[in-house]
Amino acid sequence: MKHRVAGRKLGRDSAQRSALLRGLVTELFRHDRISTTEAKARFMRGDAEHLITIAKRGLADGGNNVHAHRLAATVITDPDVTKRLFNDIAPRFTERPGGYTRMIKIGPRMGDGAEMVVLELVEKGSGESAKGADKKRGSSLGSRMREATGRLRGKQEEK
């Protein structure tokens, strides 16, 4: 029974889990969107949202900006990403009370069948709409998801 046991182990010891968390959060803030397993996304989502809240409080009137930078720097591994959090990401969410991330399921991974998700920040940066960003990239996330599910259905029908 799993009564009163919090957190996820993800098959790692505590040092590996903290390194995984720091790497995932850093890459999320660097790229605004990452693709990972559902378990890892759920594991790091709360900490990423908490860091955005810390940055918002540091930027608010009467907030201690230096202390907030130091708290964020303990988790984020790249100083440039820490600056990006405070200069670009946190100001986007000043009016939003929470829920800064979104998880979109994209189906199972081909190798081991692990459920994959795209974890992204809700507010788009630098005036880009979601459609404009997809046109620049060449193919939209929706079309890739439809293509992947079509391939999976085709394989299931062959069996």
pLDDT in tens, 49-104: 999 999 999 999 988 999 999 999 999 999 999 999 999 999 999 999 999 999 99
Task: Reduce the DSSP state of residue 100 to 3 states and report it.
Answer: coil
Question: Tell me, what's the pLDDT at 133?
Answer: 43
Rounded Cα distance, 142 and 63, in Å: 40
User: 140 in the Ramachandran plot: left (φ > 0), alpha (ψ -120 to 50) or beta?
Assistant: beta
Find the angle CA(53)-CA(104)-CA(139) to the nearest 5 degrees.
115
Q: Which CATH architecture has domain 14-127?
A: Alpha-Beta Complex (3.90)
Note the pTM of the prediction, 2 decimals: 0.77
In which band, very low, low, confident or very high, does the pLDDT at 47 lie, cut at 50, 70 and 90?
very high
User: Cβ neighbours of residue 37 under 8 Å, at least 6 residues apart?
Assistant: 109, 114, 115, 116, 117
Is residue 128 predicted with pLDDT exceeding 60?
no
The neighbour count for residue 47, using CB atoms within 10 Å, is: 14
The per-residue DSSP string of 79-99 comes to: HHHHHHIIIIIHHHTTT--S-
Cα(104)–Cα(63) distance, rounded to whole angstroms?
33
pLDDT band at 129 (very low <50, low <70, confident <90, very high): very low
- Crossing angle for the helix pair 38-59 and 14-31, to the nearest 10 degrees: 60
List the end-to-end C-alpha distance of the chain, in Å, as a whole number.
38
> Do residues 34 and 21 lie in contact, with contact meaning Cβ atoms separated by under 8 Å?
no
| Half-sphere exposure of residue 138: CA atoms within 13 angstroms, side-chain side | 0
Q: How confident is the model at residue 2, as a pLDDT? A: 84
